[in-house]
Amino acid sequence: MWRVLIADDEPKIRRGLRNNVEWQSLDMEVIAEAEDGLEALELSEQLKPDVLLVDICMPILNGLEFVEKMLAFLTDSVIIVITGHNEFVYAQKALKLGVFDYLLKPASKDQLYAVLGAAKERLQQRKYMHWTAEQVSKHMPQMKERFLNDWIGGSLTEVEVKEQLGFLQCTFDSAFCLVLIKVIDRIQLHDKPQEWDRLLLLFAVQNVVEDVLRKWGSYIVFRDRKEYIVALVTLNNKHTGSEIVTAVISTVEQVLKKTVLAFCREGDSIVTEAPIAYERLYQEAAGESSATPIVLLAKKYIRDNYHKEDLNLKEVADMIKISPSYLSRLLRQETGSSFIDYLTQVRIKQAIILLQDPMIKILEISKRVGYNGQHYFSMAFKKVLGVSPAEYRKGGVK
């Protein structure tokens, strides 16, 4: 039942409104009456009526003053002004205050029923809108994750993606980076590893990733249907995807003592390029994560220390506590490369990223990726890509 308050300083008017309307037929009931504006204000704050029938000319507070004060705490009620003042200035102020309707005394029974019927429809609409908003808010995380998975899975049109991004208030109006993160449970980075529930661990990693990305600009982080964590990040001229990956990996390992694999691809048009980037990264991650724990640890150590000029097979094997020959055999079996070849691939991959910045000299790049001199760096670079670093920078290879 919708709750009704009648506010009029004339007892006869109040009785007429209470007794001459079949309130139940309107799904309404009169819960209170007030003979002045102040009493109406106190009752409204206490009882929170849905419908208010208000006279303008009342003592202490007139009807419009009452409405103005009442709107400070009661905004969803339907207010109907019933007054003997047929002056435009009153009607104008009432409409500015958001009054639902304005009736002149004496209002006919048909007029009153018509207005009350319209008020009931308005209340029902508001109730439905509130319910809908609550349901959308309640299910928003699931709706968002489903949309994001459908998007990167390539099952949505460009128009659908743009509409949903607008609805979610996500703005990606510049270059972007897609980062794919795989949590490796079977590798522990602590002498006394903490036991994690799988879903709890994924949630924890997702939170860490979000914390890392707050300083990079606009971002979305979610879990895909294969239990990878996906991050879409707006890029600017100051940062690269490689820097994001490095920050994510180091922070997760420092905070959670867990190993993660992270891969990234950059692009210019997120709506159309994100699904392509995701598919390519998934294929790369799937192949990488299928490696044995020993090889994963070895790869991780190489990626973390490729800049060391004297990095060698024995150092990596000692870290894992296995023999160099056994590690060499596993690396070749699972990567198809020797230790030196794999280390060279990692170094050249990092060099390619650095070469994008024309301000960094090639000699400086060679030092950063672990080579003692530009000559050796250039030889290794040309062996992998077929051109020298200088030729690559000029556009010899894309």
Per-residue pLDDT of 156-194, as tens digits, reads 888 888 888 877 767 666 788 899 998 876 555 455 555
Q: What are the backbone dihedrals phi and psi of residue 314, each rounded to the nearest 5 degrees, phi first? A: -65, -40
pLDDT at 397: 53
Beta-sheet pairing, 219-223 with 229-234: antiparallel
User: What pTM was estimated for this model as a whole?
Assistant: 0.56
pLDDT of residue 130: 78
The whole-number pLDDT of residue 193 equals 53
Distance in angstroms (rounded) separating the CA atoms of residues 13 and 339: 96
- CATH architecture, range 291-398: Orthogonal Bundle (1.10)
Number of H helices, E strands in the chain: 16, 9
* Domain range summary for the chain, segments of one domain joined by +: 2-127, 153-286, 291-398
92 pLDDT tier (thresholds 50, 70, 90):
low
Q: CATH fold of 153-286, please? A: Alpha-Beta Plaits (3.30.70)
Residues 82-90, mean pLDDT to the nearest whole number: 68
- Bridge pairing between strands 219-223 and 176-188: unpaired
Share of the chain above pLDDT 70, in %: 90
Task: Flag whether pLDDT at 11 surpasses 70.
Answer: yes
Q: What sign for the dihedral angle of Cα 250, 252, 257, 262?
A: negative
Asked whether 172 and 218 are in contact (CB, 8 A), the reply is yes
Helix H or strand E segment including 282: helix 270-289
How does strand 258-267 pair with strand 176-188?
Answer: antiparallel
Which amino acid would we find at residue 382? K
Task: Name the least confident of 132-141, 157-166, 216-225, 243-252.
Answer: 132-141
pLDDT one-digit tens code per residue, 274-283: 999 999 998 8
H-run or E-run covering 356:
none
Domain at 2-127: CATH code? 3.40.50.2300
